[in-house]
Amino acid sequence: MFNVGVKYCGNCNPVINSKKILDALVKGMPGCRFGPPDAGVPALLILSGCETDCATRPGLQVETIVVAGLSVDYVSCKEEDIPEIVTKKLIEIKGRMMA
Partner 1 sequence: MPMMTGAEYIESLRKLNTEIYAFGQKIENFVDHPLFRPHINAAAVTYDMAHEPEFEDLVTVKSHLTGKKINRFTHIHQSTEDLVKKVKMLRMIAQRTGTCFQRCVGFDGLNALYSVTYEMDQALGTGYHKRFVEFLKYVQENDLMSAGSMTDPKGDRGLRPSQQADPDMYVRVVKKTGEGIVIRGAKAHQTGIVNSHYMVIMPTVALGEADRDYAVACAVPVDAPGIFHVFGRQTNDERRLEGEIDTGNARYGIVGGEALTVLEDVFVPWDKVFMCGEYQYAGMLVERFASYHRQNYGGCKCGVSDIIIGATMTLAEYNGAAKASHIKDKITEMLHLSETLYCCSIACSAEGRKTASGAYYVDPLLANIVKQNVTRHIYEICRLAHDIAGGFIATLPSEKDFLSPKTGPFLEKYFRGVAGVPTEHRVRIARLVENMTGGTALAESMHGAGSPQTQRVMIMRQSNMEHKKRLARKLAGIPEQE
List contacts with partner 1 (CB under 8 A): 13-15, 51-53, 68, 73-76
Q: Are 2 and 31 in contact (CB under 8 A)?
A: yes
Based on CB atoms, which residue is closest to partner 1, 73 or 84? Answer: 73
CB 47 within 8 A of CB 6: yes
Give the shortest CB-53-to-partner 1 separation in angstroms.
6
Q: Which is nearer to partner 1, 4 or 68 (CB)?
A: 68
Distance of closest approach, residue 38 Cβ to partner 1, in angstroms: 25
- Smallest distance from partner 1 to CB 2, Å: 26
- By beta-carbon proximity to partner 1, the closer residue of 53 and 84 is 53
39 CB contacts (<8 Å, ≥6 apart)? 58, 60
Nearer to partner 1, 32 or 55 (CB): 55
CB 68 within 8 A of CB 74: yes
Size (the chain), residues: 99
- Min. distance of Cβ 75 from partner 1 in angstroms? 5
Q: What is d(CA 18, CA 39) in angstroms, rounded to the nearest whole number?
A: 22
